[in-house]
Structure 1
Amino acid sequence: MLDTLNVGHGAVALGIGMLVGLERERKKRRDEEPAAAGLRTFAITALLGYVSMLLAGAVLVGTTSLGLVLLLCLQYRHSPRKAPDVTGEIALLLVLVLGALSVAEPELAAAAGVVSTVLLALRRELHHFVLQQLSEQELRDGLTLLTVALVVLPLTPDRFLGPYNVLNPRTLCTLVVLLMAVAALGHIAMRLMGPRYGLPLSAIASGFASGSATIALLANEARRQSAAVRPIAAAAVLSNLATITQFALVLSIIDRHLLAPFLPAVSLGVLVTASYGVLLLAPWRGISSSSAVHPGDGAFNLWTALIITLALTGIALLSAFLLEHLGHNGASIAAFISGLGDAHAATASAASLVVAGRLQMAELVVPGMMALTGNTLTKCVLAFSNGGYDFARYLVPAQLIILGTMWLGMLA
């Protein structure tokens, strides 16, 4: 029975066929091999899939797909072309399936149609990237990242083990994947946007995942590229924007009223961080070739990710050891110790105590700032240990100034 819903879903199927067919029609007009299927063929094929699914379900769609494959084989047999356009014919089959999918899942079908069209339209750009820009080392790094993320990570047990029951293998493996992804993100940003702006933007983005890990990765990069310590340090300073923003977001998500006492400190912290980072970056000055940051051959270093993971795991064990022996005599001590590993988790724990009524709102101020203090201490230690004096002399004063400004904002 024809109704508004069926007409709408049919329009989606027709739109998918016309969108993909439009790209294929333009391809026929360019200086390439002529294709058999164009705008009309793709639109009709999408409607054919839609009507087949509507009338008889998946059986008729499968039969129609088989018939389309036979027609394509006959077309190839009588075609003078030596190399068939396999991509175009697979796209035609995909349009038939997406037309059928529009009956039950029009949103998914439309999304798949758009993505398919984008992939078809970016043919030359993708080929150029793979053949001319992507290095062998970057390809191997990408395969390593996918293997760890899609094969190793799902098989890792998700339970707490070890001393004090604080080590979770799934969490540790996730951190390794996160560190590799952060390094790869920075590498891609530098390739696309250049070293001056790509590195700071990637540092800010990766800071939302782990501020301490971002500092550690940039410190290693500064040690590797000693002539470009200053711009790398500027990116590390700007990564604090993510830490401060996430600190505020954690408080507001738990209870929006908890953010009010911290607003002066957060505002001053963002202002000082941005100012200090921009002064270090000095975008108004030309960057010399000797001080330019150059992307490495690979997207990331697996051993660096493993070493940083071990270091942060050691901090977690130290925090658990101190808490076990000191007890929970004060929320501020607990927040400082937890903040050595992750300021946001420590802040969330203290804020949850306020929501549960175990702490007053006024008593949250010191634990929240102590969590940031502990996290700042960790960043300073990582800057010295991973980047050396040349990197730390830029970053450590910035961290202390940012932290001191936020404390003044709380006391004012």
Structure 2
Amino acid sequence: MLDLSLAFDLLVAALVGLAVGVQREWTGHTDGPDGRFAGARTFALLGIIGGFAGWLVRLGYPALATVIAAGGVLMPIVAYWATMRRPGTTTDGTTEVVAVLVVALGLTAGLGVRTPAAAVGVITVVLLAEKTRLQQALQRVDAAEMRAALLFAVLALVVLPVLPDTGYGPYEAFRPRQLWMVVLIFSALNFAGYITRRLIGETRGLAVTGLIGGFVSSTAVTLNFSRRSREEPALALPLALGVVAACTVLIPRLLVVTTMLRPPLALALLPVLSPVFLAGLLLIGFVLWRERDTRPAGTPATEPHAEPHAAPHLATPTASDPRPANGLGHNPLGLTSSLQMAVAFQLVLFALAWIQQNAGASGLIASATVLGLTDMDALTLSMTRYAASPNAVPMAAVAVGVGVLSNTALKCGLVLAIGEARYRRHAAGGLAMLAVGSAAGLALGWPR
């Protein structure tokens, strides 16, 4: 009787090889003076060889399977050796390496593990097809970015696994592994913001600059843009829009952190934070729609970095400026700020553990109000710990919502105290709308 499971295993093995072979043949790697040994048919057959080897392992013939798989692997090795002996051949072993991988993927499929084999096969074809774009992307990576990526790999793959996951200190609130996860999460967010700024650039408008800056610190964006409004009153509306964008992007940032650390809390935060996020999106969309025709055709958009009085973090680097020419700084990971965040998080954990033991829910809301004025990230992270018990999740969500409202009030105070008159009207009005959305979210999410 036909074994349909085996038939599907061998089919996946053959298709993986065929897909790789078609890509190699389509891009011309089988022709010309540098032509390699295998095309679509050969790769499909290599996949089938691996598939049968995996099937023989399942039947209890590992020795025979080893001989068959070794033959499939040996063929591209010999072909590479023969190809490199030809005069004038360019050194390139991609096709041969992929042929060995196809045998391995066919073996994996033959063992019955079809989905991973198919997934890796698709990824392999994409990597082969996107060779030019990958090379172009690597040419744009500078030394600071490469060091940051390698450092992050060490922090995540070497340091994190060796840290203990048990509690120490008062109330057992000090957990080294969880604290290091905080460092990794915010380093990753900083790096993502850095790369985004590299791709988009800081010259595409103050709204985009504020939006990206909000991934790092919406309060810092508000402070810098408020100062700049006094030096460049003509940019009042774009600067105000940048502040609203920075405050709006704070919401998905908080949801990303809570989803990674405490998914139930992220779910409870949706009704609390959705109104303020929607208010920000609607306000940004309305202003962009209203101002779509205000700039004459052919007039260049405002270049934030080209202004003579640009805020420090937006200014164009000079010969005496130690920053790179891209103006994004030497530290893509923002490791120092991430470590500072972890220290603040730990201090807040000790304080919240004491509040939980002695003050109850009222003390929690009071502390969220105060902490939200200065550090929404530390508040959010501490609430992920507080929400370890399902019964504590609703109050933790409310505390985050209270912190957002408190933080919005602080930014409004900065705008009114520092900003230029026209900028104050626009920015304070936008922040007031966000505050209304925040209050509506608290009304929806308050435990009853």
TM-score relative to the length of structure 2: 0.68
Unmatched 5+ residue regions in structure 1?
Answer: 207-212, 356-363
Say whether the 8 Å CA contact 2:165–2:177 is kept in structure 1: yes
Give me the whole-angstrom Cα distance separating, in 2, the residues matched to 1:411 and 1:320: 26
Report percent identity of matched pairs: 23
Give me the whole-angstrom Cα distance separating, in 2, the residues matched to 1:217 and 1:63: 64
TM-score relative to the length of structure 1: 0.74
Aligned to 2:71: 67
Aligned to 1:117: 125
Aligned to 1:288: 302
Give me the whole-angstrom Cα distance separating, in 1, the residues matched to 2:257 and 2:194: 26
Q: Which moved more, 1:72-81 or 1:101-110?
A: 72-81
Q: Tell me the CA shift for residue 110 of structure 1.
A: 0.3
Q: Tell me the CA shift for residue 350 of structure 1.
A: 11
Residues 84, 349 of structure 1: CA spacing in aligned structure 2 closer, same or farther, 3 A cutoff?
A: closer
Give the letter aligned to residue 119 of structure 1: L
Cα RMSD (Å) of the superposition?
4.7
Question: Counterparts in 2 of 1:42-53, with a 5 A limit?
Answer: 42-53=43-54
Question: Counterparts in 2 of 1:84-233, with a 5 A limit?
Answer: 84-103=91-110, 104-130=112-138, 132-195=139-202, 196=204, 215=218, 233=243
Give the letter aligned to residue 66 of structure 1: A
SS of residue matched to 2:164:
coil
Q: Where is the helix percentage greater, Structure 1 or Structure 2?
A: 1
Q: Tell me the CA shift for residue 215 of structure 1.
A: 3.9
Give me the whole-angstrom Cα distance separating, in 2, the residues matched to 1:158 and 1:98: 36
Aligned to 1:334: 364
User: Is the counterpart of residue 407 in structure 1 residue 439 in structure 2?
Assistant: yes
Question: Counterparts in 2 of 1:318-357, with a 5 A limit?
Answer: 318-325=351-358, 327-328=359-360, 331-337=361-367, 340=371, 341-343=378-380, 346=383, 349=387, 352-353=390-391
Give me the whole-angstrom Cα distance separating, in 1, the residues matched to 2:240 and 2:280: 15
Q: Tell me the CA shift for residue 163 of structure 1.
A: 3.5
Residues 45, 187 of structure 1: CA spacing in aligned structure 2 closer, same or farther, 3 A cutoff?
A: same
Give me the whole-angstrom Cα distance separating, in 1, the residues matched to 2:96 and 2:108: 19
Give the letter aligned to residue 340 of structure 2: I
Question: Counterparts in 2 of 1:249-268, with a 5 A limit?
Answer: 268=275
Unmatched 5+ residue regions in structure 2?
Answer: 233-237, 307-313, 315-325, 372-377
Aligned to 1:238: 248
Give me the whole-angstrom Cα distance separating, in 1, the residues matched to 2:183 and 2:412: 19
Aligned to 2:348: 315
Say whether the 8 Å CA contact 1:350–1:368 is kept in structure 2: no
Q: Tell me the CA shift for residue 368 of structure 1.
A: 5.3
Aligned residues: 385
Give me the whole-angstrom Cα distance separating, in 1, the residues matched to 2:120 and 2:441: 50
Say whether the 8 Å CA contact 1:9–1:102 is kept in structure 2: yes
Give me the whole-angstrom Cα distance separating, in 2, the residues matched to 1:220 and 1:37: 61
User: Is the counterpart of residue 18 in structure 1 residue 28 in structure 2?
Assistant: no
SS of residue matched to 2:2:
coil
